[in-house]
């Protein structure tokens, strides 16, 4: 069966670190940065587990600031 | 397959709507306003009404909505957005005219304008963000504040003897003859956001068809005003707000899907 792979791009400087995407991700792939902040001083969201995302776009849909762009492709 | 192979324009699934510009929003982290702004922008884009849309912004947190969504905006005096929308829609019947108001604006100072515009059956859509608090001014009690809920001006919780009862304006609107679509939605989860988007689309289409007024209430969070994290605020809303403000269609006399 063809596997569906996804990838996300997070606009770090637009992110306000509200943590809603982290909660929304069904695969728990996201987390707020531990020791880094963006130019506004927020701990931004980042993907901590690579190569597992299935591109469901839950994180992007709940993001209040529209920081997340989602791509999805079928693995052949 | 590497991420670079996946990140190609043809594989795009979801991105920030083009109508929502790059200005950083002034809303607190996790505010429901951001999600609703995104939905409004998406719906206008999908309907192809970018050039034929006039929106009315309120007084409240959403006062700067005109900075974020690239359509034509008019800024109304506090609570008077439905009155302005009435005038614009009557002069420009083919335009998509909607107001975007919070609960302090719509359910308190603007009660008269709201109820009369809805009762006249003006062909406008009203998006009503209900977070049960005055967010912009520092979390004071609003007419929609729940019984027992603590705010800056009722620190011991809302009591009926002193503060009266919560005003359920959407329920009132559903009893008016001028309204044709009255619904209550929320934006706390992916499923709820999808439903809210459909409701906004329906309200906008209804206003273009000229079959009466539409009111879409979005039960929202104000995590800064409620003094909670965005995640906790969503949970608190599910546990408490939905009891007083149950989600669903209250009135639907449109024949739209």
Q: Which CATH number fits domain B26-252: 3.40.50.970, 2.30.40.10, 3.30.950.10, 3.30.70.20?
A: 3.40.50.970
- H helices of chain A, where? 20-24, 58-62
Is A28's pLDDT higher than 80?
yes
Q: What's the rounded mean pLDDT across residues A40-49?
A: 94
* A2 CB-contact burial (10 Å; exposed 0-12 / middle 13-18 / buried 19+): exposed
Check: CB of residue B189 under 8 Å from CB of residue A25. no
Inter-chain CB proximity A20 and B17 less than 8 Å: no
Residue A50: what pLDDT? 87
User: Measured between beta carbons, which residues in chain A are less than 8 angstroms from residue B13?
Assistant: 6, 55, 57, 70-72
Is A75's pLDDT higher than 90?
no
Angle subtended by helix axes B32-47 and B190-209, to nearest 10: 50
Q: What's the rounded mean pLDDT across residues A42-63?
A: 93
Residue B2: what pLDDT? 83
Residue B70: what pLDDT? 95
Tell me, what DSSP letter sits at residue B58?
A: -
Domains and CATH numbers, chain A: 4-74 (3.30.70.20)
CA B232 – CA A46 distance, rounded (Å): 21
Check: CB of residue A10 under 8 Å from CB of residue A67. yes
Residue B57: what pLDDT? 95
pLDDT band for A57, please (50, 70, 90 cuts).
very high
**Tokens encoding B21:** 């510009």
How many other CB atoms are found less than 10 A from the CB of residue B67?
14
Check: CB of residue B72 under 8 Å from CB of residue B55. yes
Residue B250: what pLDDT? 95
CA A8 – CA B167 distance, rounded (Å): 42
Interface test with A, best of B2, B20, B29, B234 (most A CBs within 10 A): B29
Residue A1: what pLDDT? 63
Of A18, A33, A27, give the one whose Cα is nearest residue A55.
Answer: A27
Nearest CA distance, A70 vs chain B (angstrom):
5
Tell me which chain B residue has its CA closest to the CA of residue A71: B12
Q: What's the rounded mean pLDDT across residues A28-42?
A: 94
pLDDT, averaged across chain A: 92
Angle subtended by helix axes B81-91 and B111-119, to nearest 10: 30
- List, for chain B, all residue ranges whose pLDDT scores fall below the cut of 50: none
Domain spans, chain B: 26-252
**B162-187 burial, b for 16+ CB within 10 Å, e for fewer?**
ebeebbbbbebbbebebbbbbbbbbb
């Amino acid at each position: 069966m063809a596997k569906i792979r996804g990838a996300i791009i997070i606009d770090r400087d637009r992110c306000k670190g509200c943590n809603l995407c982290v909660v929304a991700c069904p695969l728990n792939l996201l987390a707020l940065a531990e020791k880094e902040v963006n130019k506004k001083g927020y701990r931004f969201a980042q993907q901590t587990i690579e190569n597992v995302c299935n591109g469901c776009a839950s994180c992007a849909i709940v993001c209040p600031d529209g920081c997340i762009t989602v791509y999805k492709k079928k693995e052949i | 397959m590497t991420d670079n192979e996946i990140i190609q324009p043809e594989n795009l699934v979801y991105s920030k709507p083009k109508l929502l510009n790059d200005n950083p929003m002034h809303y607190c982290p996790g505010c429901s306003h951001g999600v609703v702004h995104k939905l409004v922008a998406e719906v206008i884009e999908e309907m192809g009404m970018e050039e034929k849309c006039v929106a009315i912004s309120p007084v409240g947190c959403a006062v700067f909505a005109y900075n974020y969504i690239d359509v034509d905006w008019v800024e109304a005096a506090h609570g008077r957005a439905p009155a302005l929308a009435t005038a614009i829609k009557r002069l420009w019947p083919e335009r998509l005219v909607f107001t975007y108001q919070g609960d302090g604006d719509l359910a308190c100072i603007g009660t008269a304008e709201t109820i009369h515009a809805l009762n006249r059956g003006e062909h406008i859509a009203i998006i009503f963000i209900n977070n049960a608090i005055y967010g912009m001014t520092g979390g004071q009690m609003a007419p929609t504040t729940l019984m027992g809920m603590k705010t800056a001006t009722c620190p011991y919780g809302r009591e009926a003897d002193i503060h009266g009862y919560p005003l359920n304006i959407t329920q009132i609107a559903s009893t008016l003859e001028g309204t044709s679509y009255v619904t209550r939605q929320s934006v706390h989860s992916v499923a709820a956001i999808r439903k809210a988007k459909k409701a906004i689309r329906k309200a906008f289409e209804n206003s273009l068809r000229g079959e009466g007024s539409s009111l879409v209430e979005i039960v929202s969070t104000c995590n800064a005003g409620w003094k909670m994290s965005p995640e906790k605020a969503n949970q608190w809303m599910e546990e408490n707000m939905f009891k007083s403000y149950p989600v669903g269609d209250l009135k639907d006399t449109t024949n739209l899907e």
